[in-house]
Amino acid sequence: MQPMFARSAANTCKNRSIRLLCAAMMALGTMPASAQTAAGYPSKPVRVITPYPAGGSASVIARTFAESYARDFGHPFLVDNRPGASSIIGTQAVARAAPDGHTLLVISNTLAVIHWTIPDRPYDTLKDLVGVSTLVRNDHMIAVNPSFPAGNLREMIAYLKKNPGKVNAYTTAQGSINHLENLQFMQATGTNYTVVPYKGGGAGLTDLVSGTIQMAINTPNLFASFIKSGKLKGIALSGERRNPVLPEVPTFAEAGLKDFSIGTWYSLFAPGATPRDIVDKLNAATARAQASKDVQDILAKQAIDPFPSTVAATNALMRVELDMWGKVVKEFDVKPEAD
How does pLDDT run across 253-305, given as a tens digit for each residue? 999 999 898 999 999 999 999 999 999 999 999 999 999 999 999 998 887 88
Residue 212 and residue 240: Cα distance in Å, rounded? 32
pLDDT of residue 33: 44
Which residues, in sequence order, are CB contacts of 174 under 8 Å at separation 6+? Answer: 197, 334, 335, 336, 337
Walk across the sheet containing 233-237 and list its strands.
194-197, 168-171, 215-218, 141-144, 233-237
Query: What confidence tens digit (pLDDT) does each residue in 27-63 have?
Result: 434 444 444 467 899 999 999 999 999 988 899 999 9
Of 46-50, 111-115, 220-224, the poorest mean pLDDT is in 220-224
- CATH 3.40.190.150 positions along the chain are 46-138+263-332
> What local confidence, expressed as pLDDT, does residue 201 receive?
65
CATH 3.40.190.10 positions along the chain are: 141-255
Q: What is the pLDDT of residue 23?
A: 43
pLDDT in tens, 76-106: 999 999 999 989 999 999 999 999 999 999 9
Q: How far apart are CA 313 and CA 316, in angstroms?
A: 5
Which carries the bigger pLDDT value, residue 21 or residue 91?
Answer: 91
Q: What is the pLDDT of residue 221?
A: 87
What is the structure's pLDDT at 28?
38
pLDDT at position 200, please?
A: 67
| Greatest extent of the chain over all pairs of C-alpha atoms, in Å | 92
What is the structure's pLDDT at 302?
81
Residue 70 predicted with pLDDT over 70? yes
Contact 172, 198 (CB under 8 A): yes
More confident of the two residues 263 and 21: 263
pLDDT single digits (tens) 232-242: 999 999 988 99
User: How far are the Cα atoms of 37, 59, 99, 260, 291 from residue 93, in angstroms, in the given order?
Assistant: 21, 17, 12, 34, 30
Evaluate if residue 185 carries a pLDDT over 60: yes
For residue 215, the model assigns a pLDDT of 97
> In this predicted model, which residue has the larger pLDDT, 337 or 182?
182
Backbone φ and ψ for 280, nearest 5 degrees, come out as: -65, -40
pLDDT attached to residue 131: 98
| Angle (CA) 106 51 94, round 5° | 65
Whether residue 3 has pLDDT greater than 60: no
309-320 pLDDT, tens digit per residue, is 999 999 999 999
| Residue 115 pLDDT | 96
CATH 3.40.50.1820 fits 46-138+263-332, yes or no: no
Which CATH fold topology does 141-255 show? D-Maltodextrin-Binding Protein; domain 2 (3.40.190)
130 with 272: CB under 8 angstroms?
Answer: yes
